[in-house]
Structure 1
Amino acid sequence: MSTLIGKEYPFHESNAVVLDMGSGSCKAGYSGAANPSSIVDSVVGYTLKKSLTTGEPKQETWIGRAARMKSNLMLVEFLKDGAIADWEAIENLWRYILYKELEVLPEKHAVLLSDSPYSPITQRETMAEILFEYFNVPAMHVAHRPVLEMYSYGCTTALVVHSGSQITQAVPVHEGYILPHAIEKMDLAGLSLTTYLQKRFQKAAPHLNLIPNYIMDDVKHKCCYIALDFKKELNLYKQNDLIHYKLPDGHVLCLGKERYKCPETLFTPSVFDVPLNGIHYLVASSLKKIPSSIKEEVFKNILLSGGSTMFKGFCERFCKEVQNVVSDTFSPMIYSVPERKDLAWKSGKAAMEIRKKEFQIEWLPYGDLWLKRNALPTETLKKLSEPLAIVDPGASEKLEEFTWIFILHITLVLLSKANFEKKTSFHEVCFSSMISQNNTGVKTHVLHVQISFVSVLMT
């Protein structure tokens, strides 16, 4: 049984739950599994119905694909630019995944969550609050998705090029830490391509009902490809170069030029009047902002990830375009793996299995109480090195739980003040405590804390 600064955690003996929160889908499963056991669309739907007994309005909730398939729902896509925009929807999604999809008792499993490099620090605090208060998880860890994807390639320094559902981005990472000033992104990815196909077929066959996103996603991935030379491909096109896709209702879609024009948007957005540069220009721009001392190492590790890089021909075209736009003394080396659609989840589960001891020090501990950050005195946030007195009436026997909750919140406070461009490391937290009692019988815990770390939640 391993320990975290003196407190034993038996939960590590069971598999952790790994949740990869993507803008298109949420992948979930046990750390001991080879693949995610649940993939749920990142959407929640609500409908109001009258209760049969009281006649009062009653809200029904639908999750994932079921929400997309049902009509007359108010759909909530809760992730916007990597940040969580609707916490009620997130709570409903987590409840559905944990209790119905995975059928687990959250209080018996630690949870690892992936997070976007654009998410604010307050988002991680709210994640912790929901998981600890409402799901009673024993421990949690949050890791940036590009960092997890990088670890899947066995690197600690790299440029991670990710194209998912909503965002395409180039994220440089050095020794496991993101370089925020050098991130480049564009709001054009898989969802934009799906929308293009939907509009194309709606215009060509207005008699058809609007084809749902999940069907059009399947059409896109099974039928489309990236041309090595787009202009040459246009000239070579023949009218009989068609393939057919049968819809569930029996109608048949015929795809010609759409097969390569649709994903071409990633490289040449201007073809479709989108005022953006292609994905290869994101790479060139990001590389220019990287410090010269690490530039050579980053050039040698340009890594592809995300579902929108899975098109046939993508890797060959990407290599060609990057070579054309990158002007430097170093030659870029680009890598891809077949399973790059699920890299963040697989890296998270591997980390829990292989590096359990290293990650164990970064779990957030939780006792019987959850003390919200805004309940701490204001002066505590300013002077962390001074003795802290917090009144905890009649709970002297819970000193141990109180102490760990205190450390959790000090960690969050330190994190909010941390400079993300500086590498920091976990060393130790030393504290001593004293219980005093005034003439009214109110007990007070006084904690003297010496902190020499701030790596928690920084991955």
Structure 2
Amino acid sequence: MLLRSTPSPSCTHATAVQDGPAGKAAPEKSHSKPVRDRCVSKTKGYLEVVKRTEAVVVDMGTGYFKCGFAGEPWPSHIVSSVGNHPQETQGEPEETFIGRVLQDTCVPLNLISPLTHGVVVDWQSVQDILEYIFQTEMQIWPEDHAVLLSVPPLCSMADKKKYAEMMFEGFHVPAVHLAYQSQLSMYSYGKTSGLVVESGHGASHVVPIYEGYVLRSITGSVDYAGLDITNYLMQLLNESGYTFTEYQRNIIEDLKERCCYTSLDLMQDLNLPLKKQQADYELPDGHLITVGKERFLCAEALFKPSLLGSQQPGLPQLTLGCLEKCDADINKKLVRNVLLCGGSTMMEGFPDRFQSELSRMWPSDKVLITASPQRKSSVWVGGSILASLHSFQKLWVYRKEYEEWGPSCIFKKCF
């Protein structure tokens, strides 16, 4: 698993951390158990003792886990969601290799993807990854930190309970809050209403949110996203004469981010002179390869999923479908607040192409699309802002509530 540590850029909209579970931070990170500085918080008629320490925000994605402390402008740790188990060896216990350990081991490994299309399919691997992040990367004790965890917009009730159970039973955290990824993305824009169009690594969603309320019944979801674009790019490159394999997918991912773009006029780009289509890319071994029309053909799959063999609608069509299902007074507001989120929307030219396609389909109102430069991590940024607000502190679900009500306690304060 590849770990990327990202420097924190300046961020003028990040709110100062307030007292409570998301309050004061310990000045140093250490493997040694910190001295507890406790305060008393009153909730639901009883007193709950919690440590005064800053909250941890975790955005669990199909491609990456993004983690950091509330109030920070950017996640401090971005870790691949893919772990590995060694191939079975008779008589030896199973281990999970995560993070930098993957680069040091020479044993044969089996690739493990604990999330598929944003949905957890291997809870033990998810817990292993979080344990690695907390202990090795962040160097914190989770039982000393409230945790805000993002969940997909169509997350089932059973999975929501499982998230709560994992955090309270597996990590013994003092307080938890679960929030929809789409809501957190919207908060990163400073909005309370909007049509969130998010396309990450494993899934894409179009989520109408009105006055803070997620309209789940008309939320649109498709199971293609950035990983599919990467695989399609690899297919196109191999058809042109290269021989990339799935074990080199990280190279293709990097090539996609550095060289590829979304065409505003496909026929015009296809008719460009060959030299204007091409770009050079340096492989890890130092060799240069030349990428041509594949640079812009791969992004077409977000608009024409049939290129991937999918019968699902393209992102503009999915967005149109959501708008058509909204009441007239709601869609007039949403169409002026279309918010792009997720790494797949970061490809150069995507916002302009999406604006053009959606405006053509919805001519009755002016479509206004906003694309934040930090939208690749908009879920985490929104969570950082939310968990820092003084008004939010009453929405933490405390361990005492979990012990009294069980996993269903999260529905009292979340969603």
AA partner of residue 95 (structure 2) = E
**1:247 Cα deviation (Å)?**
0.9
Corresponding residue for residue 47 of structure 2: 7
Higher relative contact order (CA 8 A, sep 6+): 2
**1:60 Cα deviation (Å)?**
2.4
Corresponding residue for residue 29 of structure 1: 68
Does the CA-based 8 Å contact 1:303-1:334 persist in structure 2?
yes
Corresponding residue for residue 188 of structure 1: 224
Corresponding residue for residue 281 of structure 2: 245
Q: Give distance in 1, aligned partners of 2:158 and 2:307.
A: 39
Query: Which of 261, 266, 272 is residue 225 of structure 1 equivalent to?
Result: 261
**Relative to structure 2, which stretch is displaced further, 93-102 or 403-412?**
403-412
Q: Give distance in 2, aligned partners of 1:288 and 1:317.
A: 21
Corresponding residue for residue 411 of structure 1: 409
* Residue-by-residue CA offset, 1:282-303 (whole Å, 9 max, x unaligned): 1111100112232221122110
Kindly indicate whether residue 31 of structure 2 is the aligned counterpart of residue 74 of structure 1.
no
1:3 aligned counterpart, secondary structure: strand
Query: Which of 55, 60, 63 is residue 95 of structure 2 equivalent to?
Result: 60
Corresponding residue for residue 365 of structure 1: 398
**1:124 Cα deviation (Å)?**
1.8
Q: Give the direction of change, closer, same or farther, for the CA distance of 1:78–1:272 in structure 2 (3 Å limit).
A: closer
Query: Which of 164, 181, 184 is residue 128 of structure 1 equivalent to?
Result: 164
- TM value normalised by structure 2: 0.84
Q: Give distance in 1, aligned partners of 2:69 and 2:276.
A: 47
Does the CA-based 8 Å contact 1:78-1:86 persist in structure 2?
yes
Kindly indicate whether residue 296 of structure 2 is the aligned counterpart of residue 260 of structure 1.
yes
Query: Which of 83, 97, 100 is residue 44 of structure 1 equivalent to?
Result: 83
Q: Give the direction of change, closer, same or farther, for the CA distance of 1:69–1:316 in structure 2 (3 Å limit).
A: farther
* Residue-by-residue CA offset, 1:320-367 (whole Å, 9 max, x unaligned): 111001143x322211110000111111111122x13x3222212114
AA partner of residue 99 (structure 1) = Q
Corresponding residue for residue 311 of structure 1: 347
2:159 aligned counterpart, secondary structure: helix
1:141 aligned counterpart, secondary structure: strand
Kindly indicate whether residue 58 of structure 2 is the aligned counterpart of residue 19 of structure 1.
yes
Q: Give distance in 2, aligned partners of 1:283 and 1:105.
A: 42
Q: Give the direction of change, closer, same or farther, for the CA distance of 1:76–1:188 in structure 2 (3 Å limit).
A: same
* Residue-by-residue CA offset, 1:366-425 (whole Å, 9 max, x unaligned): 14xxxxxxxxxxxxxxxxxxxxxxxxxxxxxxxxxxx7622455635xx4xxxxxxxxxx
Does the CA-based 8 Å contact 1:69-1:212 persist in structure 2?
no
Corresponding residue for residue 198 of structure 1: 234
- TM value normalised by structure 1: 0.76
Q: Give the direction of change, closer, same or farther, for the CA distance of 1:80–1:231 in structure 2 (3 Å limit).
A: same
**1:162 Cα deviation (Å)?**
0.5
2:395 aligned counterpart, secondary structure: coil
Kindly indicate whether residue 336 of structure 2 is the aligned counterpart of residue 300 of structure 1.
yes
Kindly indicate whether residue 349 of structure 2 is the aligned counterpart of residue 323 of structure 1.
no
* Residue-by-residue CA offset, 1:212-253 (whole Å, 9 max, x unaligned): 222211100100011111111111242464211111123322
Does the CA-based 8 Å contact 1:83-1:120 persist in structure 2?
no
Q: Give the direction of change, closer, same or farther, for the CA distance of 1:194–1:296 in structure 2 (3 Å limit).
A: same
Kindly indicate whether residue 385 of structure 2 is the aligned counterpart of residue 350 of structure 1.
yes
**1:185 Cα deviation (Å)?**
2.2
Does the CA-based 8 Å contact 1:242-1:254 persist in structure 2?
yes
Corresponding residue for residue 150 of structure 2: 114
Q: Give the direction of change, closer, same or farther, for the CA distance of 1:233–1:133 in structure 2 (3 Å limit).
A: same
Corresponding residue for residue 123 of structure 2: 87
AA partner of residue 96 (structure 2) = T
Q: How many pairs were matched up?
A: 374
**1:210 Cα deviation (Å)?**
5.3
Q: Give distance in 2, aligned partners of 1:404 and 1:72.
A: 41
Does the CA-based 8 Å contact 1:365-1:408 persist in structure 2?
no
Q: Give distance in 2, aligned partners of 1:186 and 1:59.
A: 34
* Residue-by-residue CA offset, 1:296-318 (whole Å, 9 max, x unaligned): 21122110000000011111111
**Relative to structure 2, which stretch is displaced further, 80-89 or 158-167?**
80-89
Corresponding residue for residue 340 of structure 1: 375
Does the CA-based 8 Å contact 2:161-2:408 persist in structure 1?
no
Does the CA-based 8 Å contact 1:165-1:190 persist in structure 2?
yes
Does the CA-based 8 Å contact 1:83-1:118 persist in structure 2?
no
Corresponding residue for residue 14 of structure 2: none
Q: Give the direction of change, closer, same or farther, for the CA distance of 1:252–1:457 in structure 2 (3 Å limit).
A: same
Q: Give distance in 1, aligned partners of 2:80 and 2:408.
A: 35
Q: Give distance in 1, aligned partners of 2:99 and 2:352.
A: 34
Does the CA-based 8 Å contact 1:160-1:173 persist in structure 2?
yes
